[in-house]
């Protein structure tokens, strides 16, 4: 009997967890030909998320959990879950039920019968989402696909089912600054896309503010494109060309009409413009250098404080996960 691992990153999901467990249990009953392990990754929750997970684990031996020492972010939680999973097939889904569990049987059929390596999902609508967030999300996907060689599908969710080979390829990439939506596309393989209508959270509040999503989008751009560096270089060249043209113009005007009265307002504007462009280019360069700095420190992607996972007759190592 094939084993399906379901990775569920959690951060302050005490309201959603009972609803999620009920929904995923119903799905399990409909595909009884598979065995399951549900792997909850508690990302340093401050509410009763971990206590609820422990209670569920006491009632059901198929439930495993990893609890971080603090909040390391969803990307770290996904990586930890992938590392700890042991299934022949591995799924990632959110605890808030925005990723419909009822799609799982269909996803399994595509992998087992049509031999896909991965079945991914994307939202075709953004119902219930603030219009400003939807607008900038669409802009991000258009931009990243123009400047990156890795395709990132508009509306793509982290919700997907993968073969063990696909998962092992993801695990082999131990970079500290992770952007899963890009990594899924970068590893390649044969992927089937399922579309569904946007589903609002079953309970609780979203942890993704507009500011956090903006910073996350910058992570994706820096991780999968060097075009911003090229833009900075082009701006530098253009500034040099304009500067030399302006110098030539001043010299020519002086020779033809004499030394004109200096205009300090125009000089201030030029200095501010050039200074602003320099700061912009330094900021772009600094963003890439900061990523190199973090990678070079070789810090763990996450620190595990507690777990109930047993592998090879030994307790799952719960100190830290090295890069």
pLDDT for 54-95, tens place per residue? 888 888 888 888 988 888 888 888 888 888 888 888 999 888
Check whether 193 has a pLDDT greater than 60: yes
Q: Residue 272: what pLDDT?
A: 66
User: pLDDT above 90 covers what percent of the chain?
Assistant: 2
Q: What is the 3-state secondary structure (H, E, C) of 97-117?
A: CCCCHHHHHHHHHHHHHCCCC
In this structure, the answer to whether residues 132 and 99 fall within a common structural domain is yes
Q: What is the pTM of this model?
A: 0.70
In a domain, 323, yes or no: no
In a domain, 222, yes or no: no
Among 6-10, 122-126, 235-239, name the most confident range: 6-10
Sheet holding 89-92, edge to edge: 191-196, 118-123, 156-163, 89-92, 3-10, 35-42, 63-68, 304-307
Contact 191, 118 (CB under 8 A): yes
In this structure, the answer to whether residues 145 and 271 fall within a common structural domain is no
Mean of all residue pLDDT scores within the chain:
76
As a whole number of angstroms, the distance between CA 189 and CA 86 comes to 20
Q: Which residue has the tokens 């701006």?
A: 235
In this structure, the answer to whether residues 92 and 131 fall within a common structural domain is yes
Compare 257 and 17 and report the one with higher pLDDT.
Answer: 17
Helix (H, G, I), strand (E, B) or coil at 190: coil
Helix (H, G, I), strand (E, B) or coil at 181: helix
> Which residues, at least 6 apart from 68, have a Cβ–Cβ distance to it below 8 Å?
41, 42, 43, 44, 76, 77, 80, 302, 303, 304, 305
Mean of pLDDT values over 193-205 = 69
In this structure, the answer to whether residues 196 and 292 fall within a common structural domain is no
Compare 4 and 209 and report the one with higher pLDDT.
Answer: 4
As a whole number of angstroms, the distance between CA 17 and CA 97 comes to 9
Contact 66, 41 (CB under 8 A): yes
Alpha-helical runs (H) found in the chain: 17-30, 49-59, 74-84, 104-113, 131-147, 164-172, 180-186, 210-224, 227-257, 264-296
The DSSP H or E segment spanning 44 is none
In a domain, 146, yes or no: yes
What is the domain extent for residue 66?
3-208+300-315
As a whole number of angstroms, the distance between CA 69 and CA 55 comes to 20
Check whether 249 has a pLDDT greater than 60: yes
In this structure, the answer to whether residues 162 and 244 fall within a common structural domain is no
Mean of pLDDT values over 36-44 = 89
Q: How big is the chain by its Cα radius of gyration, in Å?
A: 25
In this structure, the answer to whether residues 45 and 108 fall within a common structural domain is yes
Helix (H, G, I), strand (E, B) or coil at 43: coil
Q: What is the CATH number of the domain that holds 21?
A: 3.90.550.10
Q: Residue 312: what pLDDT?
A: 44
In a domain, 213, yes or no: no
In this structure, the answer to whether residues 262 and 140 fall within a common structural domain is no
In this structure, the answer to whether residues 203 and 247 fall within a common structural domain is no
**Number of structural domains, the chain?**
2
Both tokens of 247, joined, read 């110098």
In a domain, 58, yes or no: yes
């Amino acid at each position: 009997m094939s084993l399906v691992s379901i990775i569920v990153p959690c951060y302050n999901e005490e309201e959603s967890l009972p609803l999620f467990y009920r929904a995923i249990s119903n799905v399990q009953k409909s595909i009884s030909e598979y065995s399951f392990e549900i792997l909850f990754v508690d990302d340093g929750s401050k509410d009763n998320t971990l206590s609820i997970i422990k209670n569920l684990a006491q009632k059901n031996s198929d439930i495993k959990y990893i609890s971080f020492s603090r909040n390391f972010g969803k990307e770290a939680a996904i990586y930890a879950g992938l590392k700890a999973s042991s299934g022949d097939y591995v799924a990632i889904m959110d605890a808030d039920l925005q990723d419909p569990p009822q799609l799982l049987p269909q996803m399994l059929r595509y992998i087992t019968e049509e031999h896909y390596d991965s079945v991914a999902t994307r939202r075709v609508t953004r119902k219930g989402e603030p219009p400003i967030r939807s607008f900038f999300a669409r802009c991000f996907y258009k931009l990243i696909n123009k400047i990156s060689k890795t395709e990132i599908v508009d509306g793509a969710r982290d919700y997907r089912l993968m073969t063990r080979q696909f998962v092992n390829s993801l695990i082999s990439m131990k970079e500290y600054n992770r952007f899963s939506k890009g990594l899924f596309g970068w590893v390649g393989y044969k992927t089937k896309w399922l579309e569904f209508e946007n589903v609002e959270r079953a309970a609780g509040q979203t942890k993704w503010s507009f500011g956090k999503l903006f910073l996350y989008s910058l992570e994706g751009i820096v991780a999968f494109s060097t075009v911003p560096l090229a833009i900075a270089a082009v701006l530098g060249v253009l500034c040099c060309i304009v500067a030399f043209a302006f110098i030539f113009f001043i010299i020519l005007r002086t020779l033809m009409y004499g030394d004109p009265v200096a205009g300090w307002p125009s000089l201030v504007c030029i200095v501010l413009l050039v200074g602003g462009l320099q700061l912009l280019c330094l900021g772009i360069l600094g963003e890439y250098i900061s990523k190199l700095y973090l990678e070079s420190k070789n810090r763990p992607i996450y620190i595990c404080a507690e777990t109930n996972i047993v592998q090879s007759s030994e307790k799952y190592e719960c100190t830290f996960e090295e890069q």
